[in-house]
Chains A and B, each alone.
Chain A
Amino acid sequence: MATAIERHHAAVEHHHDEHHHHVIEFTPAQRLSMNRLGLWLFLISETFLFAGILVARIVLLRDEGGSFTRPELDQQLGLVITFILLLSSLAVYMGETAISRGEIGRFKAGIGAAIVMGLIFTVGVGYEWSIAHFAPSDGVEGGMFFFMTGMHALHVLTGIIFLMIVYWNGRLGNYTKQSHWGVEASALYWHFVDVVWVFFYVALYLIGHVPEVH
Chain B
Amino acid sequence: MEFEHNDPHNEQEEGQSPYERGIIVFFALTVFTFIEYVIGTTEGKILVFSSNLVPLGVIALLKAGLIVSYFMHISRLWSSEEDLH
Point out residues on A near B: beta carbons under 8 Å: 27-33, 35-37, 40, 58, 67-68, 75, 79, 82-83, 86-87, 89-90, 92-94, 97, 100-101, 174-175, 177-182, 184, 187-188, 191-192, 194-195, 198-199, 201-202, 205-209
Residues B1-28 near A (CB distance < 8 A)? 1-7, 10, 18-19, 22-23, 25-26
Which one of B36, B63, B64, B81 lies within 8 Å of A206 (CB-CB)?
Answer: B36
- Contact (Cβ within 8 A) A207 B67: no
Complex Cα spacing A50 to B30, Å? 23
- Contact (Cβ within 8 A) B81 A27: yes
In the complex, chain B residues whose CB is within 8 Å of the CB of A35: 3
Min CB gap A212→B, angstroms: 13
- Contact (Cβ within 8 A) A207 B3: no
Point out residues on B near A: beta carbons under 8 Å: 1-7, 10, 18-19, 22-23, 25-26, 29-30, 33, 36-37, 39-41, 43, 51-53, 56-57, 59-60, 63-64, 67-68, 70-72, 74, 76-77, 79, 81, 84-85
- Contact (Cβ within 8 A) A29 B2: no
Min CB gap A30→B, angstroms: 7
Complex Cα spacing A72 to B6, Å? 48
